[in-house]
Amino acid sequence: MSDVTKLRIGDRVNHKRYGEGTVTDMLPIRGDIVVTVVFDSGRTKKLCASVTELEEVPHEAENENE
């Protein structure tokens, strides 16, 4: 899993099961962070950062520089 502390609302992420989506909320709860993601499928999931497998999707501008 990527370092979830680097994620921000609006970032694009990828999940092994649900695919790509956008972070819409991040809520610290009891030493963890609950990340809300709206996936491209239309499904919204609230995921605990400590156990989920989210990977940040590079921004388009970053890809152009490679």
The CATH code of the domain that includes 13 is 2.40.10.170
Task: Give dist(CA 18, CA 60) in Å, integer.
Answer: 21
pTM confidence score: 0.82
Tell which residue, 12, 20, 10, has the closest CA to residue 56: 12
How many domains would you assign to the chain?
A: 1
Residue 24 lies in a domain: yes
28-56 confidence digits (pLDDT tens):
998 999 999 999 999 999 999 888 889 99
Strands (E), the chain: 12-15, 19-29, 32-39, 44-48, 54-56
Say if residues 16 and 10 touch (Cβ distance below 8 Å): no
Residues of the chain with pLDDT > 90, as a percent, come to: 64
Unique residue bearing structure tokens 């156990």 = 51
Domain assignment of residue 29, given as a range: 4-54
Residue 61 lies in a domain: no
Beta bridge partners of 36: 25, 46
